[in-house]
């Protein structure tokens, strides 16, 4: 790839490497604690054995959630997308000083949050619902991480403006456009969390404010907590749209359709948080219905993606001699671990997406809410669509950043198939147990109500979780050996895919920002305005904090 050879991208590479290192450390902590939880579900309580490190199941679960779902994702995305945007713009992004300031701010925030988390003073799970109250450093630290992500948005926007001045007539390169949409969407979406932190949780945890309110806090949390899933998913889609078609030997089917789907995410990601609060009293049914409709609407850009990405894979596979209605699928370059990881991630994501529809349907949600069904759902989505894709991306990205070839492709292939197999067993069992009524966020090995019929599936959770852990170990081993012991230089990084139907076929309005931003804000005001105004006006902040662990 011509852009990749630009020596001026060296500082972007270093930055990407720094973010990736933090992300991988977080993932390591996350998968290690995850193993203990899976074994607990199989009836094996190992917490007494790891006592000095982990005080309880819930201590481990908080670490697992925060490190995997918040830190691994966010740091990976900041590193990956800044690098990819630089490649797409074919220039380094503006202000390396801003970039490094941001990285260190986020890392400092992470360390600040991690100290109470590791010390069992923030055992409040990744959703940190009040009235459980963590140490103030946990909230302040996470807030600094979020502020850092805003600075990344700013850096991308400044770069876009500089690029636009030099290229007034050109369509924004697809990967850069998508990186911008991702960060702009996230910046809008993260306002809920910012208000929750600054107005409710931080003053309360510091003792400046005596009380808080669980409903108001949860509403602000899910304002951000739903769209955050698209903050994780969109970078995955960026890889599926702009790199995977080429890795599969073909072309992107439609560039305009890809842009349209991202703009739909900008509009529809945020006004949907109440589908996490269907069972919360105090939010009017009518607004829950509105959010349900918006949820079904935000399903649509993923369906566009399904169509576009499968069509692109088919182009590649047929060029490689694939034939038949479905048999072409076997002709994809399955020997490439980066490609294999991402296609396997897609397959499981189709099931995660269908489960999402079940969750989103009010009457079905009442059956599965707060059960392990939801845990099964999010291990297919963030735990596979996103994480397995990110692993696939690191199989080319780490060699590029480090300048050394992947230590072992074969080991990487074994790893991605193990993740696929382990997750299939693990998430199937969790879905099934959820339908049978097993609660989530529970140390089930100590529960007195476990039914005999649950036992076989509980065992499968333990087996699936162990396979996932082994897969993760192989992943880390391969990356460490790549960095330290790989004898060969890095091969060329995957080039951006050409599009069968190119950007110039998209209507010009797809490359403008104001109308879409305005529409996104209007949707948010419609979906949240009345409820938030009502809650802020009528809620007394009287609930004291609890330490229940």
Residues of the shown chain interacting with Cu ion in the complex, contacts defined by CB under 5 A? 226
Q: How far is the CB of 288 from ligand HAS (least distance, A)?
A: 11
Note whether 350 binds ligand HAS by CB under 6 A.
yes
Query: Any catalytic annotation for residue 409?
Result: no
Query: Any catalytic annotation for residue 121?
Result: no
Q: Which of 87, 155, 275, 377 does the annotation list as catalytic?
A: 377
**Which of the choices ligand HAS, Cu ion, none does residue 242 contact, using the CB cut-off of 5 to 8 A by kind?**
none
**Which of the choices ligand HAS, Cu ion, none does residue 310 contact, using the CB cut-off of 5 to 8 A by kind?**
ligand HAS
Query: Could you tell me if residue 491 is left (phi over 0), alpha (psi between -120 and 50 degrees) or otherwise beta?
Result: beta
Stretch that binds ligand HAS, among 13-21, 93-101, 351-359, 390-398 (CB under 6 A): 351-359
**Residue closer to ligand HAS, measured from CB, 171 or 331:** 331
Write the CB contacts of 384 (distance below 8 Å, at least 6 apart in sequence). Answer: 345, 348, 349, 352, 419, 420, 423, 427
Candidates 353, 399, 494, 503; binder of ligand HAS (CB under 6 A) is 353
* Residues 338, 494 contacting (CB under 8 angstroms): yes
Note whether 305 binds ligand HAS by CB under 6 A.
yes
Characterize 529-543 residue by residue with b for buried, 16 or more Cβ atoms within 10 angstroms of its Cβ, and e for exposed: eebbeebeeebebeb
Note whether 329 binds ligand HAS by CB under 6 A.
yes
* Residues 358, 368 contacting (CB under 8 angstroms): yes
Candidates 149, 359, 372, 387; binder of ligand HAS (CB under 6 A) is 359
Q: 212: which strand partners?
A: 543
The site that binds ligand HAS (CB under 6 A) totals a number of residues, namely 33
**Residue closer to ligand HAS, measured from CB, 310 or 477:** 310
For every residue of 62-128, DSSP letters joined together read HHHHIIIIIIIHHHHHHHHHHHHHHHHHTSPPS-HHHHHHHHHHHHHHHHHHHHHHHTTS--STTTT
Note whether 309 binds ligand HAS by CB under 6 A.
yes
Stretch that binds ligand HAS, among 12-20, 228-236, 514-522, 538-546 (CB under 6 A): 228-236
* Residues 294, 274 contacting (CB under 8 angstroms): no
Beta-strand relationship, 499-501 and 252-254: parallel
Query: Any catalytic annotation for residue 378?
Result: yes
**Residue closer to ligand HAS, measured from CB, 299 or 513:** 299
* Phi, psi of 252, rounded to the nearest 5 degrees: -70, 135
Candidates 357, 521, 525, 533; binder of ligand HAS (CB under 6 A) is 357
Candidates 50, 105, 347, 435; binder of ligand HAS (CB under 6 A) is 347
Query: Any catalytic annotation for residue 237?
Result: no
Q: Which of 230, 237, 241, 469 does the annotation list as catalytic?
A: 230
Give the 3-state secondary structure of residue 524: helix
Note whether 127 binds ligand HAS by CB under 6 A.
yes
Write the CB contacts of 423 (distance below 8 Å, at least 6 apart in sequence). Answer: 348, 379, 380, 383, 384, 388, 464, 468
* Residues 116, 122 contacting (CB under 8 angstroms): yes
Query: Any catalytic annotation for residue 537?
Result: no
* Phi, psi of 10, rounded to the nearest 5 degrees: -60, -40
Q: Which of 91, 133, 379, 431 does the annotation list as catalytic?
A: 379
Note whether 349 binds ligand HAS by CB under 6 A.
yes
Stretch that binds ligand HAS, among 13-21, 94-102, 300-308, 483-491 (CB under 6 A): 300-308
**Which of the choices Cu ion, ligand HAS, none does residue 62 contact, using the CB cut-off of 5 to 8 A by kind?**
none
For every residue of 315-348, DSSP letters joined together read HHHHHTT--TTTGGGGGS-TT-HHHHHHHHHHHH
Note whether 77 binds ligand HAS by CB under 6 A.
no
- Residue written as token pair 């072992």: 408
Q: Which of 19, 241, 440, 475 does the annotation list as catalytic?
A: 440
**Residue closer to Cu ion, measured from CB, 61 or 292:** 292
Q: Angle at Cα 334 formed by Cα 331 and Cα 340, nearest 5°?
A: 125
Q: How many residues does the chain have?
A: 549
* Residues 487, 232 contacting (CB under 8 angstroms): no
Q: How far is the CB of 182 from ligand HAS (least distance, A)?
A: 13
Q: Which of 221, 262, 378, 496 does the annotation list as catalytic?
A: 378
Q: How is residue 114 written in tokens?
A: 């991690």
Q: How far is the CB of 408 from ligand HAS (least distance, A)?
A: 26
Element (H, E) at 183: helix 174-189
* Phi, psi of 499, rounded to the nearest 5 degrees: -110, 140
Query: Any catalytic annotation for residue 440?
Result: yes
Q: How far is the CB of 336 from ligand HAS (least distance, A)?
A: 16
Write the CB contacts of 175 (distance below 8 Å, at least 6 apart in sequence). Answer: 84, 85, 87, 88, 238, 242, 496
Calculate the alpha carbon distances from 469 to 45, 218, 426, 466 in Å. 17, 32, 12, 5
Stretch that binds ligand HAS, among 145-153, 182-190, 226-234, 422-430 (CB under 6 A): 226-234
Query: Rule CB under 6 A: which of 260-299 touch ligand HAS?
Result: 275-276, 295, 298-299
Q: Which of 318, 319, 320, 441 does the annotation list as catalytic?
A: 441
Q: How far apart are CA 463 and CA 461, in angstroms?
A: 6
Note whether 229 binds ligand HAS by CB under 6 A.
yes
Query: Any catalytic annotation for residue 379?
Result: yes
**Residue closer to Cu ion, measured from CB, 226 or 246:** 226
Note whether 233 binds ligand HAS by CB under 6 A.
yes
Catalytic residue list: 226, 230, 377-379, 440-441
Q: Which residues bind ligand HAS (CB under 6 A)?
A: 127, 229, 232-233, 275-276, 295, 298-299, 302-303, 305-306, 309-310, 329, 346-347, 349-350, 353, 356-357, 359-360, 365, 369, 374, 377-378, 381-382, 386
């Amino acid at each position: 790839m011509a852009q990749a050879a630009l020596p001026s991208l060296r500082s972007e590479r270093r930055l990407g490497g720094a973010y990736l290192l933090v992300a991988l450390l977080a993932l390591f902590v996350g998968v290690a604690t995850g193993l203990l939880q899976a074994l607990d579900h199989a009836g094996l309580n190992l917490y007494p054995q790891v006592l000095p490190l982990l005080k309880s199941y819930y201590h481990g679960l908080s670490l697992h959630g925060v490190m995997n779902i918040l830190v691994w994702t966010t740091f990976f995305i900041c590193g990956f997308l800044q690098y990819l945007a630089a490649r797409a713009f074919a220039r380094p992004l503006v202000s390396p000083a801003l970039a490094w300031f941001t990285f260190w701010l986020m890392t400092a925030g992470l360390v600040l949050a991690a100290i109470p988390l590791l010390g069992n003073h923030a055992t409040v799970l990744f959703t940190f619902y009040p009235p459980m109250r963590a140490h103030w450093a946990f909230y302040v630290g996470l807030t600094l991480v979020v502020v850092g992500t805003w600075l990344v948005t700013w850096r991308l926007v400044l770069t876009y403006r500089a690029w636009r001045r030099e290229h007034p007539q050109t369509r924004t390169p697809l990967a850069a456009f998508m990186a911008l949409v991702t960060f702009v969407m996230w910046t809008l979406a993260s306002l809920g969390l910012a208000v929750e932190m600054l107005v409710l949780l931080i003053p309360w945890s510091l003792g400046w404010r005596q009380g808080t309110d669980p409903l108001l806090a949860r509403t602000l949390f899910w304002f951000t907590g739903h769209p955050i899933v698209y903050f994780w998913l969109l970078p995955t889609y960026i890889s599926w749209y702009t790199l995977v078609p080429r890795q599969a030997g073909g072309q992107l089917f439609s560039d305009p359709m890809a842009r349209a789907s991202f703009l739909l995410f900008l509009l529809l990601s945020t006004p949907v948080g109440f589908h996490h609060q269907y069972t919360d009293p105090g939010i009017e049914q009518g607004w829950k219905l509105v959010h349900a409709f918006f949820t079904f609407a935000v399903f649509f850009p993923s369906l566009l993606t399904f169509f576009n990405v499968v069509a692109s894979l088919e182009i590649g596979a047929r060029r490689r001699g694939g034939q038949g209605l479905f048999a072409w699928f076997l002709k994809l370059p399955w020997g490439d671990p980066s490609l294999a990881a991402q296609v396997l991630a897609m397959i499981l994501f189709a099931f995660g997406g269908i489960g999402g529809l079940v969750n989103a349907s009010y009457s079905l949600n009442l059956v599965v809410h707060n059960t392990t069904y939801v845990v099964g759902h999010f291990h297919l989505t963030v735990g596979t669509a996103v994480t397995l894709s990110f692993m696939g991306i690191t199989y080319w990205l780490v060699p590029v950043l480090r300048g050394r070839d992947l230590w072992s492709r074969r080991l990487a292939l074994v790893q991605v198939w193990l993740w696929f197999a382990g997750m299939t067993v693990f998430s199937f069992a969790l879905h099934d147990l959820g339908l049978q009524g097993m609660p989530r966020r529970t140390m089930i090995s100590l529960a007195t109500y476990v039914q005999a019929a649950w036992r076989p599936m509980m065992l499968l959770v333990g087996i699936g979780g162990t396979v996932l852990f082994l897969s993760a170990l192989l992943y880390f081993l391969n990356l460490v050996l790549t960095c330290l012991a790989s004898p060969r230089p890095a091969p060329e990084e995957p080039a951006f895919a050409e599009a069968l139907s190119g950007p110039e076929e998209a209507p010009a309005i797809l490359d403008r920002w104001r109308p879409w931003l305005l529409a996104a804000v209007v949707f948010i005001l419609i979906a949240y305005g009345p409820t938030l105004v009502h809650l802020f006006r009528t809620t007394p902040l009287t609930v004291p904090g609890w330490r229940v662990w």
